[in-house]
Amino acid sequence: MPEGHSIHRLALQLSSVFGGQRVAASSPQGRFVAGAAGLDGRVLTRASAHGKQLFVEFADAPDESQTPPIFLRVHLGLYGAWSFGGDKSFMGASSIGAPRKIGERELAGSPDAAYDGPPAPVGAVRLRLVSDDGWADLRGPTACEVITEPERDAVVARLGPDPLAGVSAGGVVGDDAGAHAGHDVVRFAAGLRKSASPVGLLLMNQAVIAGVGNIYRAEALFRQKLDPWRPGRSVSTEEATVLWDDLAVTMRDGVRAGRIITTLPADRASSSSSRVKREDAHYVYGRAGLPCRRCGTPVAVAEMAARKLFWCPGCQAS
């Protein structure tokens, strides 16, 4: 399942290639006909994300008239994906979603190639958006619906704070984008400290912190030397704050790079490489049985809430 950095990256991409344009919407698959009809002919004003939830805003006119906006809410889940194509303005766009390997798959094609409209849909396309310059296809999402602004706000209210808050909404990717997030840090720390559940479980609870998935969970706990089975209520406010700040930095790095890289150059086998190799990108995730990059202890793996949890018994001992 794509983690929060990919959804913010997707929101930035949708805003970049469709923002301010009137779009045609359809459901080639036929499972979203009514929803697509509600979007068809409207102006896509912007897209934003909160955690793993994508919100695409549509208005009646480019000037965002007094008519209330409506929102396309998408949760990609395990199998959802967006793909893009079009003229040279779309050449930097990437396909984001499953199946995922390293980063997002860059579109093929030449920036100088003439754009003569979208191709015939391939596969089960739930939603197709088309502008004068290009197209985007959505396949296999867990959730895809058209909602009002109050309904959008209600969805966000059920979620925990997002370490990437404001990144997709304002187009800010720098580390200073989270400088205003003091309230969010307090909420996150309180969510951890009120529960006896393991911190490794709480980081995957979207009501505690939105956007963190299995990779960021494992890597953040390692980087902060926290035992995944340590009860949340035993984590100090200072520890929770440092954990939040580290997630904010590494997830912003993910937005910039389009992939999750959590290792420092000194801890990689090929630190001189201009592109970090897949096997050097993580400290513990996916490295069960291999020696820890810091202490040499074999990386352990166990099931936690039906997901594989990776950690170093040496560096993360209680």
Active-site residue, 256 included: no
Q: Residue 53 carries which side chain, given as an amino acid letter?
A: Q
Write down the pLDDT at residue 170: 56
Write down the pLDDT at residue 111: 52
Domain-wise residue ranges, the chain = 4-157, 167-311
User: What CATH number should be reported for the domain whose range is 4-157?
Assistant: 3.20.190.10
Residuewise pLDDT in 10s, the chain (318 residues): 899 999 999 999 999 999 999 999 999 999 999 999 999 999 999 999 999 999 999 999 766 566 899 999 999 999 999 999 999 888 778 888 875 433 344 444 455 567 888 999 989 999 999 999 999 999 999 999 999 999 999 999 999 999 999 887 654 444 444 444 689 999 999 999 999 999 999 999 999 999 999 999 999 999 999 999 999 999 999 999 999 999 999 999 999 999 999 999 999 987 666 789 999 999 999 999 999 999 999 999 999 978 999 999 999 998
CATH of 167-311, one of 1.10.3720.10, 3.40.1590.10, 3.40.1640.10, 1.10.8.50: 1.10.8.50
Which of 3, 57, 104, 239 does the annotation list as catalytic?
A: 3
Which DSSP symbol is given to 3? -
CB distance 157 to 207 below 8 Å: no
Are both 4-157 and 167-311 of the same fold? no
Q: What is the dihedral of CA 169, 172, 175, 180, to 10 degrees?
A: -50
52: nearest Cα among 95, 11, 110: 11
Residue 143, token pair as written in the block: 């959730």
Which of 31, 100, 187, 307 does the annotation list as catalytic?
A: 307
Terminal C-alpha separation, the chain: 30
Whose tokens are 């993910």? That residue is 254
Whose tokens are 């706000």? That residue is 153
Active-site residue, 2 included: yes
Helix (H) or strand (E) segment spanning residue 48? strand 43-50
Which of 42, 52, 139, 217 does the annotation list as catalytic?
A: 52
Residue 156, token pair as written in the block: 């966000």
Active-site residue, 239 included: no
Whose tokens are 């779009």? That residue is 23
